[in-house]
Amino acid sequence: MDSGGGRLKASSSSNGGRTRVGKYELGRTLGEGNFAKVKFARNTETDDNVAIKILDKEKVLKHKMISQIKREIATMKLIRHPNVIRMFEVMASKTKIYIVLEFVTGGELFDKIVSRGRMKEDEARKYFQQLINAVDYCHSRGVFHRDLKPENLLLDANGVLKVSDFGLSALPQQVREDGLLHTTCGTPNYVAPEVINNKGYDGAKADLWSCGVILFVLMAGYLPFEDSNLVALYKKIHKAEFTCPPWFSTNAKKLIKRILDPNPATRITIPEVIENEWFRKGYKPPTFEQADISLDDVDAIFNETGVSGNLVVERKEERPAAPLTMNAFELISKSQGLNLSSLFEKQMGLVKRETRFTSNRPAKEILSKIEETAAPLGFDVKKNNYKMKLQGEKTGRKGHLSVATEIYEVAPSLYMVELRKAGGDTLEFHKFYKNLKTGLKDIVWKHEEDADEGDSGAGASASVSKPR
């Protein structure tokens, strides 16, 4: 799927005013953060579905780190492993970088814990083996994740684990002269103590710690280190203060305690984990082939001479004066495989980075009601057809809370409203949505079982479903 060196034309699709970038037709936004947005897309030449990560060039490159970012992307493109999301190609316009990635439909691994509770040991071991396979392979090629957490563990349609964002989650970081990484990152509950210390850390050892926390959660259904007070949480992590539940086998307890060793010098290594008796049970090393891969597109997007022939052009038609119609596949892509039961949130405890509700009111009425409800909550509202950006006026724990809202028509007179955290703190988003939903009660289409159950069911298992 390499683009080659020719100029990639872009045009808008006639299907509802969708945008095309090169041979890809862009669809709905799957997720977004401060520096990147991920969109569902279709390769118009092969009809394959992909995910495209769109980065703002100015934000990513302002630290003059072109060579390092180029190296990260080139390395990731060379990685072909059954348990790592595949990168197909990379393109650039004058202002954006487009990273074309494998699209998987099985949802997040941790959704299984939220819906079913903890896993049996054999099932947890199977996923842990796949996780270690992926991490070990990437480390052998000099790529460290640095931010392993629940949202980065996806499942394909066959239930195979796929680690996403390897090498991309911490692009602007670098190894200093001492050979150590020095940027604190990651979700606090999953981060190794030496990362929090900010005295430099070994990326491989830090990744393994995160894998250990993930294994604990898979088998326990809750986090080993949890505290609402961040200082208290860090103390627990530094001292590795945790207790394995009684249902863990003796060998599983021993392995987890060796992984969650707060001293990186004595912490077990990945090669030692792979030789561990508990890990080896039912273990099947991955089989895959290395293909010839061109890096021409990676060189082209960072061509500092600015040759326009290497750039793609993103061209948009005016959006029609109606909500974008969501086709059946895109609707299913938001659920786990073909299971639509998880599509519409019913319990507030599960609301984290994004949520959605349905309404049978007219789309313009929905927009007006959201604007009317958000303004008194201290949010500035910007509208663009049937999209809205709600920007919090107050500075929160992680800056201003920013919420992206979009309305989709899923059937005649039935709309799906999606709200995504675009910036700020996840828990603040959770609180905002709870307040917003109260004000929207007249337009939200209620299910009988959704009679404002409050936060019931939002216990320990829900707290690990998404990072904070």
What are the pLDDT digits (tens) for 296-313?
666 666 665 444 445 666
Known binding residue 446? Answer is: no
Contact 293, 86 (CB under 8 A): no
Token couple for 18:
């969708």
Report helix, strand or coil for 54: strand
254-258, 420-424, 461-465: least confident range:
461-465
Residue with the bigger pLDDT between 263 and 104: it is 263
Task: Say what the pTM is.
Answer: 0.65
64-73, 221-230, 312-321, 396-405: least confident range:
312-321
Residue with the bigger pLDDT between 300 and 370: it is 370
Residues 6+ apart with CB under 8 A from 219: 118, 119, 121, 124, 245, 247, 248, 252
pLDDT of amino acid 441: 80
Q: How far apart are CA 31 and CA 18, in angstroms?
A: 18
Q: Is the pLDDT of residue 242 over 50?
A: yes
43-52, 92-101, 338-347: least confident range:
338-347
Report helix, strand or coil for 27: strand
Q: Is the pLDDT of residue 252 over 70?
A: yes
pLDDT in tens, 8-30: 333 333 344 578 888 898 888 87
Q: Which of 111, 136, 147, 207 is catalytic?
A: 147
Token couple for 346:
């019913």
Q: Is the pLDDT of residue 236 over 90?
A: yes
| Domains located in the chain, CATH noted | 20-103+294-315 (3.30.200.20), 109-280 (1.10.510.10), 344-440 (3.30.310.80)
Confidence of residue 330 (pLDDT cuts 50, 70, 90): low
Confidence of residue 72 (pLDDT cuts 50, 70, 90): low
Please confirm, yes or no, whether 147 is among the known catalytic residues: yes
Confidence of residue 268 (pLDDT cuts 50, 70, 90): very high
